[in-house]
Chains A and B, each alone.
Chain A
Amino acid sequence: MAYSKKVVDKFEKTLNEPAKFNVGRFNPKDTDVGTGMVGAPACGDVMKLQIKCKLEGNQHVISDVKFKTYGCGSAIASSSELVDMLIGKTLEEAKEIKNKDIADALELPPIKIHCSVLAEDSIKQAIEDFEQKQ
């Protein structure tokens, strides 16, 4: 299937320089870390997103993000795109990110919209996990 240039670029950059593109993991037990894992191997995609937060004033701000994604090229590109959107945002701002923002940024075709939905779910779950620890 022909991909948008943006998906291919994002996918290739992430694959070639994983560290620079926030591939990796934090210790999920750390209290300043929130972990979200969505999808299933049988469905062909699993995204694991981890946020590290620090308190600025009375708000938690996402200071760093790590992720790993098993899935097609657009699933990997969607995760990577989401990471770019998250760093520096407050949790309240991060909750506002919608799948459409990711889909639009990558020009995902309709058949790949579920990749961006999964990415949105992963951040929701990561925030939930973080908030439960506080």
Chain B
Amino acid sequence: MAKKLNLPIYMDYASTTPVDPRVAEKMLAFMTLDGDFGNPASRSHKYGWQAEKAVEEARSHVANLVNCDPREIVWTSGATEADNLAIKGVANFYASRGKHIITSKIEHKAVLDPCRQLERDGYEITYLDPNENGCITLDSIKAAVRPDTILISVMHINNELGTVNDIKSIGSFAREKGIFFHVDAAQSTGKVNIDLTNLEVDLMSFSAHKTYGPKGIGALYVSRKPRVRIEAQIHGGGHERGMRSGTLATHQIVGMGEAFRIAKTEMKSDLKKIKGFHSKFLDGIKDIEEIYINGGLNDKVNNILNVSFAYVEGESLIMALKDIAVSSGSACTSASLEPSYVLRALGREDELAHSSIRFSFGRFTTEDDINHTLSILSNAVERLRELSPLWEMHLDGIDMSKVEWNTH
């Protein structure tokens, strides 16, 4: 018998994931008086030693998932802080070598905003366009490199499209040129295999809450061989070998460690299930007219599917799909009232950016969730199109690019 659906159905795993119950249970043991609540920096008693042991065990779990040395993992408050630490940290430390940084237009704001800040501080940033599939090509990076380039920062998996960048070849090129390479891998853990011993990456950002861990904790991988130096951005006690001060949040760290340990053991089965959902979903929407998949299907992960439903505005579709929790690239859902800059960079017309919905699946998604979503999706699109003057014009064969609109 089918289990009762939990409504609204959560299809926004790329935004955040629920904490795995096994993770939550483990975290509870590091907070109260009867648990290991100590400060990991306390060297004088058992409370501190126990907490430190838990933190180091968690560090090993994180390192183990991405195949690096635990000493290369620096705890941060999340991927945003890790990105800030990596980018500003390298820029500040190596400012005398050069002040040029290469990144892309489809990065997360956690990379773009620190870059903007560096621009205000006198650095020059090149923002690369993705190709039509939503990937950053090595050729575009090669063309942008200058003698004073000190850092390349390119994300591993794009959070809106799910597209995967070739960090192996970008890394080789960067290493050959003596340029540091930072990768925002917030969306990657548990979704693709990462082997840092075989990647020429100097810095990599991680987040716990995209991989069934708690919010408020992340990590930065800082390569030891070859060594990359970063200037600390937060001072106050010299924790994490001086790179990130502040009392370690033991329960959060333990949560991230457990989440990443589970990711390592369950990645294969998670991925297999999600691959099935992805094909089923694609198959279920193929009969809806005038839809566009954003991001190349062959260049992306299966847990994210970004679709534009032409002539229907994304936020209204979200309202019509009230039983489904998804996100949209529509301007109306953003605080800035601008449509998704990622879809714009992809070359999508603003119309299609407004019409986009991102579906993202995860470990707790069920077959019933997918079936239910598909059962209401085409109907919702159809009803909104009945309301849409643009759909009417499309059916009348009017070329909308030739219409003079009253823009406001």
Contacts and interface: CB of A to CB of B under 8 A. Distances in A.
A11 B319 contact: yes
B161 to A, nearest CB: 20
Interface string A42-80: 111111100000000000000000001111110110000
A44 B333 CA distance: 11
A38 B405 CA distance: 7
Contact of A15 (B311, B313, B320, B330): B320
A23 interface: yes
A18 B351 contact: no
B271 interface: no
A70 B408 contact: no
B339 A44 contact: yes
Interface residues of A, number: 37
B387 A41 contact: no
A14 interface: yes
Interface stretch (B2-10, B77-85, B237-245, B388-396): B388-396
A71 B383 contact: no
Contact of A18 (B349, B350, B383, B405): B383
Interface residues of B, number: 31
B406 interface: yes
A40 interface: yes
Contact of B408 (A11, A16, A18, A40): A40
A15 B408 contact: no
B387 A68 contact: yes
A41 B319 contact: no
B316 A73 contact: yes
A98 interface: no
A121 B408 CA distance: 11
Interface string B272-286: 000000000000000
A121 B405 CA distance: 13
B331 interface: yes
A97 interface: no
B407 A43 contact: yes
B313 A44 contact: yes
A71 B407 contact: no
Most interface-central of A46, A47, A69, A118 (chain B CB within 10 A) = A46
A23 B349 CA distance: 27
Contacts of B354: 41-42, 44
A37 B319 CA distance: 24
Interface in B298-323: 311-313, 315-316, 319-320
Contact of B386 (A12, A23, A111): A23
Contacts of B349: 41-42
A1 B311 contact: no
Contacts of B333: 1
Given A23-B386, A44-B339, A70 B312 contact: yes
27 contacts: A1-B333, A11-B316, A11-B319, A12-B319, A15-B387, A16-B383, A18-B386, A18-B387, A25-B392, A37-B389, A40-B407, A41-B349, A41-B351, A41-B400, A44-B331, A46-B389, A46-B390, A46-B405, A68-B389, A69-B387, A69-B388, A70-B387, A70-B390, A72-B316, A72-B332, A75-B313, A111-B337
Given A16-B383, A70-B387, 9 more contacts: A18-B387, A43-B407, A44-B331, A44-B350, A45-B313, A70-B313, A70-B388, A71-B332, A72-B315
